[in-house]
Structure 1
């Protein structure tokens, strides 16, 4: 008979206060050829970068997320040019400065700026992730102990552990609005609230026959 085991999935979460806002900004430019479209998009993105840096965002808090070029077609299916888009990730470390940063970017390029997403997040995650993992493992052990008892066994050594992830669930504030709305965002309130950092773990334990079960078996054997 093979070794008896029990495998369970445990989950855990901890509540944390967000300390940054993450902005996903995008600029686009239409042109007759690829090179011109890319040049125009690059020019717009450079203006946005300069504007948000002047508003207090550090260079280390800026990151290019995506660059794309797509052909454009008219209603008759005729190719009419190209659209280049570039996406920029911005970390805002002062929650109350979010509207000011959006307004600065919009003032730089007008309606060439699109705001894909505004979300709250936790910048330093290590401590919260460790606590979430500990809670997930404790939850897994509690489940495994119950199943073992139902099977007349006890937990032995751990045979395997795999993690599904420890991730802060960012609170999304806005998604997909254009620069004319961003211009009015300087007074946009950003309330931090709390976020859940979650973890899930898959754990396998070996089982051995419980002491009560062994004693019962010995008595029957003697009889």
Structure 2
């Protein structure tokens, strides 16, 4: 019996040493004279994206595979040179895809016939100055790029914004707990546990609007990239003790 009592005492001391915030909502002890309330809340803040990432590439076609690849390599060299001339660092240019596919002609009741080959080479480019990305797009097209996808917008260092969203989430959860407690004729006694349930770091789910210069406009008209605003959010689960 002494051994069992000592073991129970040690377990009790170990449980007391664990901070309440570190305990999960599922393992938080429920007091017999208290009411438990679990709340999920999301805090949000808005930021202007300062990073733009796009994919730019060259698609070429030729009767032979070697010719398609050779022409593609020459044009891609010019595209890379244009990126470097626009001030894009080598660390911000990464090959995303290289491909070579045969092109077929289809005729009824006949097997397909290879008519040539299509070569593709695509790079992912990160623009650390969104304001200059539109002019860089124009330079890419002039250098020979004929395939562009994006850009995708993001916040380069979202930690401060995430902290603001986390604080907002806790504030919203506490306000909701106060509402429920008042409606039930109780009061919020304390917070028993907090779990961070997820976050959104502000990566754009869809490309922003690109405004391209029309052919009849002046020759110095340029593509404009409009970053807009993106939402950064954090979600928390909190357990409150009501009395």
Normalised-by-shorter TM-score class = 0.5 to 0.7
Which secondary structure does the structure 1 equivalent of 2:171 belong to?
helix
Q: CA deviation at 1:47?
A: 2.4
Larger Rg: 2
**Rounded Cα–Cα distance in structure 1 between residues aligned with 2:102 and 2:237:** 49
CA shift in 2, pair 1:71/1:41, >3 Å: same
**Rounded Cα–Cα distance in structure 2 between residues aligned with 1:208 and 1:18:** 40
Match of 1:196 in 2: 230
Whether 1:78 aligns to 2:112 is yes
CA shift in 2, pair 1:41/1:185, >3 Å: farther
Give the one of 129, 136, 141 matched to 2:169: 136
**TM-score w.r.t. structure 1 length?**
0.67
Q: 8 Å contact 2:154–2:202 — kept in the other structure?
A: no
Q: CA deviation at 1:49?
A: 1.1
Give the one of 43, 56, 60 matched to 1:12: 43
Greater helix share, structure number: 1
Where does structure 1 lack aligned partners over 5 or more consecutive residues? 211-223
Q: CA deviation at 1:168?
A: 4.2
Which secondary structure does the structure 2 equivalent of 1:132 belong to?
helix
Q: CA deviation at 1:188?
A: 2.8
**Rounded Cα–Cα distance in structure 2 between residues aligned with 1:115 and 1:11:** 35
Give the one of 51, 61, 64 matched to 2:92: 61
**Rounded Cα–Cα distance in structure 2 between residues aligned with 1:37 and 1:144:** 65
Where does structure 2 lack aligned partners over 5 or more consecutive residues? 1-28
Match of 2:192 in 1: 157
Greater strand share, structure number: 1
**TM-score w.r.t. structure 2 length?**
0.63
CA shift in 2, pair 1:74/1:122, >3 Å: same
Which secondary structure does the structure 1 equivalent of 2:141 belong to?
helix
Which secondary structure does the structure 2 equivalent of 1:15 belong to?
strand
Q: 8 Å contact 1:121–1:171 — kept in the other structure?
A: no
What is the number of residues matched between the two proteins? 200
Match of 1:126 in 2: 159
